[in-house]
Amino acid sequence: MGKQIVITGASRGIGFETARILADLGHSVIAVSRSEDGLKKLQSTSAGRIIPLSLDLTRPDSVQRIIDLILKETGGVDALIHNAGLLINKPFPELTDSDWMDQWQLNVMIPVRLTRELLPYLNPEAHIVNIGSMGGFQGSSKFPGLSAYSVTKGALSILTECLSAELASQKVSVNCLCLGAVQTEMLEQAFPGYQAPLNPGEMGEFIANFTLNGHQFINGKILPVALNNPG
Ligand SMILES: NC(=O)c1ccc[n+]([C@@H]2O[C@H](COP(=O)([O-])OP(=O)(O)OC[C@H]3O[C@@H](n4cnc5c(N)ncnc54)[C@H](OP(=O)(O)O)[C@@H]3O)[C@@H](O)[C@H]2O)c1
């Protein structure tokens, strides 16, 4: 039976491809991003059920609008993919407080808030997938310019372990995929000219499959998904 899935950051890049693949497989996908054009393109590219929601996740009413749409369209959630992210590449001395806070807000507080407020709507056996980064994977190579971004992704990794312990009684699984480099606008802006070994479609395929099946085998884990790793 088709699952009900919510994914953030679906207007382009990895989120776009993940949403497209999940919808093409017959699942209902609430696709959240600011860009209406990006979401329209997603809808027209997919043969499946994409329910677009254009909003800025950092606005105070964003979570309520997502809940309203869940109640109207699906009633419950089987998978929640926290994919929207912000990367500001600057040397540590140049990173301002607002650079730190903007990345913290989107990369950590939005998954925190969205998870907390969506808990009552998560179906039994639901899977929360946090899209982390190798930058936030302990012991991996680190790259100059990514200190704030990597700290936020590290926080998302640890949040994964904490939530999986707290949500076990509700039969909700939580995992974090720490991605290596994927050829997207984010990577292009942060590392102009860098050639990633994977495209968003290839990574989307992996994330879609992991979201649907991974929690039958894995819970509370921080998993590197990388061939190499600026990103
Ligand atoms: N690409 C890589 O090499 C790489 C490596 C490791 C981890 N990751 C992680 O993978 C995820 C996806 O990355 P990507 O490379 O596909 O990034 P991307 O091309 O920059 O896409 C980011 C997505 O997030 C959405 N978004 C950003 N700010 C938002 C906001 N305030 N409200 C709602 N949506 C917002 C964007 O849509 P709108 O602009 O339309 O809102 C867009 O759909 C991120 O979490 C990133 O950190 C990527």
Distances (CA, A) of 67 to 59, 89, 122, 131, 206: 14, 33, 11, 21, 27
Which residues surround ligand 1 with Cβ inside 6 Å?
8-15, 33-35, 38, 56-58, 83-87, 106, 131, 133, 179, 181-182, 184-187, 196, 231
Q: Whose CA is nearest to atom 18 of ligand 1?
A: 186
Domain boundaries, the chain: 4-225
Sheet strands (E) in the chain: 4-8, 28-33, 49-54, 77-82, 122-133, 173-179, 222-225
- Report the pLDDT averaged over residues 183-212: 96
* Residue 230 pLDDT exceeds 80: no
pLDDT band at 1 (very low <50, low <70, confident <90, very high): confident
pTM above 0.85, yes or no: yes
* Rounded Cα–Cα distance for residues 161 and 174 (Å): 8
- Report the pLDDT averaged over residues 124-140: 96
- The pLDDT assigned to 134 comes to 96
pLDDT band at 16 (very low <50, low <70, confident <90, very high): very high
* Rounded Cα–Cα distance for residues 45 and 148 (Å): 34
- Report the pLDDT averaged over residues 108-112: 98
- The pLDDT assigned to 228 comes to 64
- Per residue in 24-51, pLDDT tens? 999 999 999 999 999 999 999 999 999 9
Look at residue 111 and give its three-state secondary structure: helix
pLDDT band at 231 (very low <50, low <70, confident <90, very high): very low
Q: Of ligand 1's atoms, which has the minimum distance to the CA of residue 82?
A: 45
CATH architecture group of domain 4-225: 3-Layer(aba) Sandwich (3.40)
pLDDT, averaged across the chain: 96
Q: Which residue has the tokens 């312990």?
A: 165
- Per residue in 136-184, pLDDT tens? 999 999 999 999 999 999 999 999 999 999 999 999 999 999 999 999 9
CA 71 to ligand 1 centroid distance, Å: 26
CA 13 to ligand 1 centroid distance, Å: 7
- Report the pLDDT averaged over residues 118-140: 96
Look at residue 84 and give its three-state secondary structure: coil
CA 109 to ligand 1 centroid distance, Å: 15
Neighbours of 57 (CB within 10 A): 22
- The pLDDT assigned to 5 comes to 98
Q: Which of 8, 29, 34 to mutate to test the pocket of ligand 1 (most atoms within 8 A of CB)?
A: 34
